[in-house]
Amino acid sequence: MSRKGKGFASLADAASALMDLRTSLAGTIAPSRSPDRKPQAAGSEFADIEQQMLAKQAAGQGEPTACPPLSTFPARNGAGQRASKPGAKAQKAKNKKAQPQPKSKGAKKIILKGPGMKAAYQAILEAERAAAAVKQPAPVVAEPAIPRETIFRQIIAAVRNTTPMIEPRPVSITPQNQAAIERAIIDGAAQLSEKPQPDVDDGFIVGFDFGTSSVKLAVSQPYHADNPTKAMPAPEGLQSFGHPYLWQTAMWFDPKTGRFSLYPLPGAVTLEGFKTGIIGAHGGELVRPDVSITRVEAAAAFLALHFAHFFGWYRQAKPLGPAGADQFMAVNVGIPVAAHDDARSFSIFKRIVAAAVELAPFASQLTPDLVRQTHSRSPDRLPAGFYLVPELTAAVAGYAFAPTSQPGSHMLVDVGASTLDIVAFNLVGRERVAVFSAAVELLGAAALDSALSRQLSAGDFKRACDHEFEEVYGRARSPERAQDGFHAAYRRKPVQLLVTGGGCKTEVHDRFIAEMPTERVLGAAPTIHPLPPKAMTDMSCDRSRLLLAYGLTRDLPDLPEIKLPSQVPSITPLVRMEPSFVGPEMT
């Protein structure tokens, strides 16, 4: 009497039951099974399958998973046990060893009985083939992140000894402008030769912003009504990015005549990037390989020409009107705070200015030999009436005396063409400035272009800027410096951010600055862009570019008193003494 297979409600039920059967049978022949396991009673496997099917339906499980082919299962007798004879297994192994194995002729055809079993088996095979065809993607191994300090050093190394292309240099200017420049240089040289000493009682003050991309000069008459102040215009053709008061930091040298010039001449070569090289500690190297002039020598010649030109222009133009004095009281030259606070850098700038003042009376007849000899013997001290002033002092002067200025913790970010200056300071009563940390690096707008041209990414350049900021800000908020004023967990109000410089408008620097005035960094206070007074200029322009020149026209006693980082003593953090329990054994 034949026994009919049990029916299934659906194809999925049949496939699930078939897979469970294969799993169950595979378990009974597994090598790891217990040797004393008792065989199941006839028909118990199908009862187990039914129970598993009901459990799967109750749990809501979906498609069956892949399983081994049914041809791997041993044949069974009607009782559900393996059909074998005593000793058959050993005999079969012996025969298999003695006789050569026949070649495989492919998978055997399997005859499945029971409603829906054949279709279920085909569905399982198709699912297995589909699963095998899907290739799992190789796991992505994330590369280790490069430390931000390493990125910073790579960027600085790439731009340190380069001359960034800030803007196209002119090839000629009008004859009228040439003649005006030459007249001013001759008049100014004569005045500096006749009256080299300052008038400390009633002289005028010159503010000289010596930038890497442009120079800005202004003059004021202190202690007179309204303290009149005017900026010196730049000749058309020599203006930096079309700004009427910004003069390109470049000059020209004619190898045939050996003549230096503030404007292009036929056959002359351009000398530029000398201040960038000085800040990058390469002042003793040639400004360009085809000219035997170092960067410090080029800077001395450039300043000598501008000193003579300015004094000649002042005598001719009389920008301050009747209030303007005939003799100068002071010439304040701005340099970065970090350079002012570094003894070696400060000495380099002092020697450059000293050489330029000595060369200015001969500005119309400068030669490389004269410049080289003068600089080589220039002393490590400034001439009377000439001063090197930290640019921070000038920027703060333009901000501190405004009615909207606030005392407290500040961060100044000055983005120039080549350099990024960052200073953390405290303003006390608009009169005193304590600088806790400062840095100047070659991370300005033109330095960004130079880095990009060397296949460095904008993202890495921003990370280098972030590193400089964190160095300055991290130092300021440390317990040894000014934790109570800068650290987010201790300060009572946000740190005020001041932003200056024309380079801050690049996309990279804009993102860099935008991340500072947030709660997790400086605090959510509006960023301030200080401006000099409108009366300083007669032409429409971006006055923010003249802030340092304006601040440098203040008399030194009127400038905020500044303590540089090396002059601000570190604080020894107090060690908290926790109360201790005194036991009876210590009494």
- Quote the number of domains for the chain: 3
422, 394 in Cβ contact below 8 A? no
Q: Are residues 288 and 230 in the same domain?
A: yes
Q: In the listed set 95, 129, 163, which residue is the last one of a domain according to the structure?
A: 129
Secondary structure (DSSP) of 234-252:
PPTTSBGGG-TT-EESEEE
Q: In whole angstroms, give the CA distance from residue 232 to residue 274.
A: 23
Asked if residue 95 is part of any domain, the answer here is: no
For 408, half-sphere exposure in the C-beta direction (CA atoms, 13 angstrom radius) is 16
**Same structural domain, 231 and 255:** yes
State the pTM of this model: 0.69
CA distance 489 to 164: 41
CATH number, domain containing residue 226: 3.30.420
| Residue 394, in any domain of the structure | yes
Q: Do residue 454 and residue 307 come from a single domain?
A: no
At 425, which CATH number?
A: 3.30.420.40
Same domain, 312 and 407: no
For residue 392, the model assigns a pLDDT of 78
- State whether 199 and 318 are in the same domain: yes
Task: Give the pLDDT score at 22.
Answer: 60
Q: What pLDDT score was predicted for residue 214?
A: 92
Say if residue 435 is in the same domain as residue 396.
Answer: no
The span from the CA of 45 to the CA of 54, in Å, is 14
Please check whether residues 357 and 388 belong to one and the same domain: yes
Nearest residue to 415 via CA among 280, 281, 519, 507: 507
Q: Is residue 68 part of a domain?
A: yes
What's the rounded Cα separation, in Å, for the pair 297 and 368? 8
Same domain, 226 and 212: yes
Q: Is residue 70, in this structure, part of any structural domain at all?
A: yes
Burial class (CB in 10 A: 0-12, 13-18, 19+), 406: middle
Q: What are phi and psi of 221, to 5 degrees?
A: -115, 100
DSSP 388-433: EEEHHHHHHHHHHTSTT---EEEEEEEE-SS-EEEEEEEEETTTEE
Per-residue model confidence (pLDDT) at position 337: 80
User: For the chain, which ranges sit under pLDDT 70?
Assistant: 1-118, 120-121, 131-144, 161-165, 430, 571-587
User: Could you tell me if residue 119 is inside a domain?
Assistant: yes
Alpha carbons 414 and 395: distance in angstroms, whole number:
9
256 and 392: one domain?
yes
Domain boundary among 513, 529, 545: 529
Please state the φ and ψ torsions of residue 312, each to the nearest 5 degrees.
-70, -40
**556 found inside a domain:** no
Nearest to 393 by CA among 213, 567, 554: 554
- Based on the domain organization, do 217 and 351 belong to the same domain? yes
Task: Determine the structural domain holding residue 488 and report its residue range.
Answer: 403-529
| 156 within a domain of the structure (yes/no) | no
* 395 and 414 housed in the same domain: no
Instruction: Examine residue 407 and state whether it is found in any structural domain, yes or no.
Output: yes
pLDDT confidence of residue 575: 47
Q: Which of 475, 431, 385, 416 minimizes the C-alpha distance to 201?
A: 385
Instruction: Show which of 401, 427, 446 is a domain's final residue.
Output: 401
For residues 196 and 222, state if they share a domain.
yes
